[in-house]
Chains A and B, each alone.
Chain A
Amino acid sequence: MIVPLATGIHHTSYASELALRNTRGEKARLGLGILALGALPFLLDSYWLSVVNAIGIAAIGAIGLNILVGFTGQISLGQGGFLAVGAFTSALLSGRAGVPIPVAIAAAVVVTAIGGVIAGLPALRLKGLYLAIATLGSQEIIEFVIRRWRWLTGGQGFLEAPPLGVLGWHVQRATFERTWYWVILGAAALGAAAARNVFRTALGRSFMAVRDHEVAASTIGVNVTRAKLGAFALSSGYVGLAGALTAHYSGTVSWERFTREVSVLYLGMIIVGGLGSIAGSIYGAAFLLLLPPLLSALADAVRTTAPFLADQLPALQVAAVGLVIMLFLIFEPRGLDRLWRRVRDYFGSWPFRY
C-alpha cells in the first residue's frame, strides 16, 4: 500500500523526519481538528453527545480491528467476542471483586490481549477465508459462553458495571456525557497516536510485511508466528479497552451487545473508513454510527410526507449499513481515507491535474 506523501519536503534534522505532520496544511488541519473536538461538547445536546461518545469508543475498537485486518491481513469475525471479554473482565473485577476501575480497565486490556492470542492460534495454520470462518467459530463459542454461563451474570442475564470513578471521585449524573466525552477522547487520541507510531517501528512493519507476502516476509527474517500473534494481541488489547469502556459507560453488560452483527459492523467500519489506515478507522466508525441516527432524524422530519420511512426504520437502518459496505467495496475499496486524500490532492494542486 503506497501512502502518498506531500512533495518538496526535505528533512534537515532527525526530529523533523520523525514528525508525523510536515506541511503547513497538515498542521493547520490538526489545529482545526483539535479546536473542533474541544468545542464539540459545548455545541451538542446530550443525545448527540452520546452518539459522539459511542463513536469514540467504536473508533478505539475499529483501530484495533484495523491493526489485525487492515495492517496484518488476518480477517477476524470475532470482534464482538473480544469486546465481550473486555467488558465482562472489567465489570467483574470492578463490580464483584472491588478492584479500582482504572486497574480493572487495564486488566481487561491485558486479559483480552491474551484471549486474542488464544483465538489467533488458528491463524498460524489458516489464511484468508478459512481464518475468517475459524474466528466466526470463536465468536459463536464466546457468545454462547456469555449467554449460558450463569455465574457470569449471577443468573440475571446481565451484569452491572459500576460507574467510572477514581479515588472517591465519580462521574456526576448532570455532566455524565460531557465527562465521558473527555475520557473517551483522551483514550481514543492516545490509542490513535500509539497505533500510528507502532507502524513506524520494526514490529509494526513486520505486520505489514506479513500482510503483503508471508513467504517473502519470512525470507527477509520476519518471524511470522511472532508477527501474527503480536498483531492478535495488540489488536485485542485495543478491542478490550473499547469493551471495558462500553461496560462502564453503559452501566450494564449483556450478551446482546456483543453478537456476530457487532463483529460485522466493525468490519464494515474499517472497510468504509479504509483498510490499513488509522485515520480511516475513525472516519468509518463515525460514518457507520452516524448513519442510523441521521436516518431516524430524517424519518422524523418527513413523517407526514413519507410515513413509510418511519414505519420501516429498523429494517432501513440495517439495509443502509449493508448497502454502504457493498458500495464502498465496489466503488472505493480503499474507503473514506482514500476519498479524502483524493479530494485533498485535487485541491492542493488545483488548477493543475498533478
Chain B
Amino acid sequence: MTQFLQLTVYGLANGAVLALAALGFVLIYKATNVINFAQGEFLLVGAYAFYSGFVLLQLPALLAVALGVVVAVALGVTIERLVLRPLIGREPIAILMVTIGLSAVLKAVVQIAYGTTPRTMPRLLPGGSVEILGAVIPVDRLVAIAVAGVVLAGFSAFFRWSRHGVAMRAVADDPQAALTQGISVTRISALAWAMAATSAVAGGVLIADIAEVSQNLAGFGLIVFPVVILGGLDSVPGTILGGFVIGLVSQYADGVSPGASQVVPYVVLVVILLVRPYGLFGQPRIERV
C-alpha cells in the first residue's frame, strides 16, 4: 500500500512534467496543425539557455529565466519564418520530416556548443522530503506539480479568454475563414511557435532541476506522443489528464516489472489510436478511412 502511494505521487509528479512538456506540442498543433517532432529539442535548448544564464553567466535565477525566454522566442520565430512557412499547405510527410530534420540540427548544435557530458546545476527547488501517509515524497516533486499546474492553468485561460488565444483556435479551425476575419495567420503561427518554445523553457528547467542538464532531455520529445494522443491532440485539459495518466501508468508498470515503463506508454498509444484516435477530449474530426 505504501509502495502504491509512493508510485502514485511519483507518477503524478512525472505526469505534471510530462503535461508541461507536451503543452508546447499541443500549442503548435492547435494553431498550425503541425506535429512538432522537435519538441524535445526545444526542452533541451530551453534548459541549456537557462543553464548558460544561471551557471555560466552567474545571473540571478529570474534573469536567467528571462534569458531563456528571449532565446526561446527568437528560436521559435526564426524556425517558423525560415522552416515552416515555406511548407504551408504541403503534404503531411513534408511537415513531419522537416521537424525531424530540425530536431537533429538543434540537438547537434547543442552538442557542439556544450558537449555531451551532463552538467549539474545548483538546486532551485527545495530539497528534502516529506512523509505523507507513510510514503516518502521529495518536496521538489510537489513543487514541480504546483509549477506545472500554474503554467497549465495559465495556458488554458489564454486559449479560453484572450484575443490571441481565440484567434489561434480560429486559425487552427479554418485558416481561410480566420483570414477573412482579419486575423494574420502567419503572425499567429509565429506566436504559437514562440509560445511553444517558451513553455519548453519552463518544462526544461523543471526537468533539468529534478534530473540534470543533459542530452537525455530530448527524449521527452518522444514520450509526449502517448500523452497528447491519449488526451486529444488539440485539447489543453486533455494534455493535462493525458500527462497524469501516462505518468501514473508508467510508474505502476515499473512497480510491477522494472523497465516496463519504456514500452507501456507506446502500447497505450497504439491502442488509443486504434480505438479512439482523437483521444479523450480531442475534436472527433480527424479523417477516418
Q: Which residues of A contact B (CB under 8 A)?
A: 69, 75, 121-130, 132-134, 136-138, 140-141, 144-145, 148, 214, 224, 260, 264, 267-268, 271, 275, 312, 314-316, 318-319, 321-326, 329-330, 333
Contact = CB atoms under 8 A, between A and B. Distances in A.
23 contacts: A122-B270, A123-B289, A126-B286, A127-B289, A128-B287, A130-B286, A132-B96, A134-B269, A134-B273, A140-B262, A267-B100, A268-B97, A271-B97, A315-B108, A315-B109, A318-B107, A319-B109, A321-B101, A322-B108, A326-B102, A329-B98, A330-B83, A333-B94
Contacts of A124: 289
Contact of B104 (A132, A134, A136, A321): A321
B48 to A, nearest CB: 14
Given A126-B277, A133-B273, A137-B266, A75 B108 contact: no
A75 to B, nearest CB: 5
A148 B103 contact: no
Contacts of B263: 140-141, 144-145
B267 interface: yes
Nearest to B270: A137
B130 interface: no
B90 A333 contact: yes
B266 A140 contact: yes
Interface string B91-115: 0111111101111110111011000
Contact of B92 (A128, A145, A264): A128
B259 interface: yes
Contacts of B273: 122, 125-126, 130, 133-134, 137
- Range, interface on chain B: 35 or more
B93 A75 contact: yes
Given A133-B269, A137-B269, 4 more contacts: A123-B289, A140-B222, A318-B104, A323-B105
B87 interface: yes
B86 interface: yes
B19 interface: no
A224 B98 CA distance: 29
Contact of B87 (A132, A319, A330): A330
B146 to A, nearest CB: 31
B229 interface: yes
Contacts of B226: 137
B104 A322 contact: yes
Contacts of A122: 270, 273-274
B288 interface: yes
B56 to A, nearest CB: 19
Contacts of A326: 83, 98, 101-102, 105
Contact of A329 (B92, B101, B104): B101
A318 B108 CA distance: 6
A127 B287 contact: yes
A141 B35 contact: no
Nearest to B107: A318
B220 interface: no
B50 interface: no
A134 B270 CA distance: 6
B262 A330 contact: no
A321 B112 CA distance: 15
Given A133-B229, A329-B97, A319 B289 contact: no
A44 to B, nearest CB: 29
B51 interface: no
